[in-house]
Amino acid sequence: MPKLHPQMIEILATIERDMGGAPKLHEMTPAAARQLFEDFAPFWNEGAPAVPATDREIPGPHGPIPIRHYNPGAPAGSPGLVYIHGGGWVLGSIRVYDGICRRLAHYGGFPIVSIEYRLAPEHKFPVPFEDCFAALSWVGEHGAELGIDGSRLAVAGDSAGGNLSLAVAMAARDGGGPKLKAAALIYGAFGVDFDTDSYRAYGTDQYLLSREDMIWFWDHYLRSAADRSDPRAVPLAGQFEGLPPLLVTAAEFDPLLDDSRELVARLKAVEAPHDWMFWEGVIHGCIDMARLLEPAEGFLSDTALWLKDELKA
């Protein structure tokens, strides 16, 4: 019988006590949900490793794209990671995901470029994808400005960022982008089937991210039903041959669990190189909670070390 980690139970109880009367995510406006995300970020980011970071903007197809560059002391010419944050394509920023990037840089020893892509619903698909692909391509071409070898890049992201990471890896494979060494996909949203076993089991408010929340996110992101067949938006609609090695991770108590399971099945079917990590006893969003959730620190360390190995290969 699946069991939540004791610290996970404590975190959920605290959230319920402090937020129990608040509107559900899918009942909020995007602006209100974003502000909530930003308000909690300093708490969860506190205690992250002190990795030097600088902010700048790079050009993009829809205007400048803010990035945050982390360098844990890697020498010039090191391989690097492009990180794409989660938040359902509606929420999140380089500030909210600062702690995650600092931990990955600390454990992996590689520089990271975190991307602040434009958000839906003001900027629906394909704008967030195009921002991310443009930023990845820019790092491939101009990485030397950041001390990064643009020919040795990986991409990683969580949730919607996992979706975008796989989408840009597919696009890079198909031409016009850098040849990636690897991609780490952390409990990604890869499909639009809301009736999977994991949605039925874990898509309730009990585990923070609900089925209704995910429908709310996808409805804000996609322009129409036609986008569901576009692999840049819904990667499970795509082909999986010729991709770089992928790390697919999944949380046990997550409505998106079966998205990752289906992706792994597709990768196995075409013998695409991949590794699988199943994180027991935790919910979607667990890596944000490393300050209070000891297993999440290990998850980030494991992910960073996998990326380090692939970038060295």
In the numeric block, which tokens belong to residue 199? 């949605």
Q: Where are the strands (E) in the chain, listed by range?
A: 53-58, 65-70, 78-84, 112-115, 148-158, 182-186, 246-253, 274-283
Q: How many CB atoms lie within 10 A of CB 17?
A: 8
- Cα–Cα dist 276/303, whole Å: 11
Q: How many CB atoms lie within 10 A of CB 197?
A: 11
CB-CB contact of 117 with 83 (8 Å)? no
DSSP-derived 3-state class of residue 152: strand
- Cα–Cα dist 87/119, whole Å: 9
Choose among 227, 293, 281, 289: nearest CA to 253. 281
Could you list the pLDDT tens digit for every one of the 313 residues in the chain? 789 999 999 999 999 998 877 899 999 999 999 999 999 999 999 999 999 999 999 999 999 999 999 999 999 999 999 999 999 999 999 999 999 999 999 999 999 999 999 999 999 999 999 999 999 999 999 999 999 999 999 999 999 999 999 999 999 999 989 999 999 999 999 999 999 999 999 999 899 999 999 999 999 999 999 999 999 999 999 999 999 999 999 999 999 999 999 999 999 999 999 999 999 999 999 999 999 999 999 999 999 999 999 999 7
Q: How many CB atoms lie within 10 A of CB 1?
A: 2
Residues taking part in catalysis: 159, 254, 284
How many whole angstroms from its chain centre is CA 26? 20
Distances in whole angstroms, Cα of residue 50 to Cα of each of 98, 104, 304: 11, 12, 16
Task: Please provide the CATH number assigned to the domain covering 6-312.
Answer: 3.40.50.1820
Q: Where are the strands (E) in 59-111, listed by range?
A: 65-70, 78-84
Supply the pLDDT for residue 158.
98
Q: Whose structure tokens read 């819904």?
A: 234
Supply the pLDDT for residue 19.
83
Beta strand pairing call for 246-253 and 182-186: parallel
Supply the pLDDT for residue 168.
98
In the numeric block, which tokens belong to residue 290? 């490393």
Which residues are within 8 A (CB) of 200 and not within 5 positions of it... i.e. 6 or more apart? none
Four-residue CA torsion sign, 181, 55, 129, 136: negative
- Cα–Cα dist 251/13, whole Å: 19
Name the residue ranges covered by the structural domains of the chain: 6-312
Query: What pTM was computed for the model?
Result: 0.98
Choose among 24, 20, 101: nearest CA to 68. 101
